[in-house]
């Protein structure tokens, strides 16, 4: 059995559920991504088990899943014990073969750099993000028998974003794709930003819940759920570098 865990908040949950009706999901606890895996397992005689978990929880750590928070829990406070009731990478990798994590759309509210980056700062700036992402990469490289999938940053709609924030988000996105990511390691990038923006600067209104709500729409989520599932399996089966 290959075990996969998807760490998410509300944006990830939308893709996880896809077009599954909320009442059906409440009864079955199965969304579109799980259904994709079940169908693939049945057809290909594989044994891939995927589950999702809110990370971090709302309490006691707080509903924050930005570069600082992953760095804070997994790097700064690494070890075999939970940090403020949240599992460290040592704990997650012991129970799962593949760990998937992401940020919600407030990650794109990026402020200007100061010229004095601080890895221990929760200020959302490119200079801080880069330090935290480099530390995360080095940490993930410690677990050579595990694979990690990280989403590119979620975007805001034009109505809910300032242009300078959106430009900085694209700058960080380009750095993540072109500089941070390296070939041949155990980290894989799922390009959620590209899907959301359709090559533009913002989450398109067509892909959003509404122009003033930067969560994915049901139609967009339904389209992406199988693409997400396929990407995970392609990573597991060695079809993606």
Of 113, 117, 190, the closest CA to residue 154 belongs to 190
User: Percentage helix, strand, coil, to 5, in the chain?
Assistant: 45, 15, 40
Residue 213 has a CB neighbour count (10 Å cut-off) of 15
Residue 187 has a CB neighbour count (10 Å cut-off) of 17
In the prediction, which pLDDT does 29 show? 85
* Ordered per-residue pLDDT tens for the chain, 241 residues: 999 999 999 999 999 999 998 888 888 889 999 999 999 999 999 999 999 999 999 999 999 999 999 999 999 999 999 999 999 999 999 999 999 999 999 999 999 999 999 999 999 999 999 999 999 999 999 999 999 999 999 999 999 999 999 999 999 999 999 999 999 999 999 999 999 999 999 999 999 999 999 999 999 999 999 999 999 999 999 998 7
The domain segmentation of the chain, as residue ranges, is 2-236
Just give the CATH number of 2-236.
3.40.50.1110
* H/E segment holding residue 5: strand 2-8
């Amino acid at each position: 059995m290959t075990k996969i865990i998807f760490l998410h908040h509300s944006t990830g949950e939308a893709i996880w559920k896809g077009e599954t009706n909320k009442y059906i999901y409440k009864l079955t606890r199965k969304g579109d991504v799980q259904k994709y895996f079940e169908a693939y397992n049945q057809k290909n005689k594989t044994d891939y088990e995927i589950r999702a978990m809110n990370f971090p929880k709302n309490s006691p750590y707080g509903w924050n899943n930005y570069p600082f928070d992953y760095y804070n829990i997994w790097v700064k406070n690494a070890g075999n014990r939970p940090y403020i009731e949240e599992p460290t990478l040592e704990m997650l990798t012991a129970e799962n073969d593949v760990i998937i994590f992401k940020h919600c759309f407030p990650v794109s509210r990026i402020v200007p750099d100061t010229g004095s980056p601080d890895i221990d700062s929760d200020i959302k700036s490119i200079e801080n993000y880069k330090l935290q992402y480099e530390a995360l990469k080095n940490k993930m490289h410690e677990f050579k028998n595990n694979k990690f999938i990280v989403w590119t940053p979620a975007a805001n709609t034009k109505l809910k974003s300032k242009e300078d924030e959106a430009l900085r988000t694209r700058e960080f996105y380009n750095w993540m794709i072109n500089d941070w990511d390296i070939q041949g390691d155990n980290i894989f990038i799922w390009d959620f930003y590209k899907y959301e923006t359709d090559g533009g600067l913002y989450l398109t209104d067509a892909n959003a819940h509404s122009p003033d709500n930067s969560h994915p729409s049901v139609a967009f989520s339904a389209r992406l759920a199988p693409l997400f599932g396929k990407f995970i399996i392609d990573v597991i089966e060695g079809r993606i570098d």
